[in-house]
């Protein structure tokens, strides 16, 4: 299994605006959020993950076990409720967030010292890259 443990700093963030618009996030929040360079702090124990997305403006906290569906409330993002399931696709983490929005989810994978994250909602894809601190 891939090892996601560590602190990861954002290096690029493509189409975050489109992703946030698809989520219906308000204009003022989008202006601020676009300027952020969040940090991911990931603690992984086997299939259990604690993923913190930290920024000067707002944080987002996610805890899940791969293969176990849970009720996610996207507090501080779009504040919706999703039935969320994360699974392994080889070493990639694939998440489906079932709810009001179609085609919502994300994919994480690692290449060298870089962590990749693709966030999808409706017809929008946001591509983020993080580098190990
Ligand atoms: C911030 C700032 C406030 C506005 C938005 C944010 C987006 C956070 C996202 C977090 C994704 C977390 C994932 C965790 C995986 O385990 C940065 C909190 C919209 C999109 C995919």
Tell me if 96 CB under 6 Å of ligand 1: no
pLDDT tens string, the chain, 133 residues long: the values are: 899 999 999 999 999 999 999 999 999 999 999 999 999 999 999 999 999 999 999 999 999 999 999 999 999 999 999 999 999 999 999 999 999 999 999 999 999 999 999 999 999 999 999 999 9
Rounded to two decimals, the pTM is: 0.97
Tell me if 116 CB under 6 Å of ligand 1: no
Ligand 1 centroid from CA 46, angstroms = 23
Atom number, ligand 1, closest to the C-alpha of residue 57? 2
Q: What was the pLDDT predicted at 1?
A: 80
> Strands of 60-65's sheet, edge to edge?
60-65, 48-54, 39-45, 6-14, 124-132, 114-121, 105-111, 92-98, 81-89, 70-73
């Amino acid at each position: 299994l891939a090892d996601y443990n560590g602190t990861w700093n954002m290096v690029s963030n493509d189409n975050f605006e489109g992703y946030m618009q698809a989520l219906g996030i308000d204009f003022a929040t989008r202006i601020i959020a676009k300027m952020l360079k969040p940090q991911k702090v990931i603690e992984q124990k086997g299939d259990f993950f604690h993923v913190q997305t930290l920024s000067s403006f707002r944080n987002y906290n996610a805890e899940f076990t791969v293969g176990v569906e849970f009720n996610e409330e996207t507090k501080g993002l779009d504040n919706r409720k999703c039935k969320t399931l994360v699974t392994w696709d080889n070493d990639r983490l694939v998440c489906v967030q079932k709810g009001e929005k179609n085609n919502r989810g994300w994919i994480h994978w690692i290449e060298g010292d870089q962590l990749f994250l693709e966030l999808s909602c409706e017809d929008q894809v946001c591509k983020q890259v993080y580098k190990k601190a």
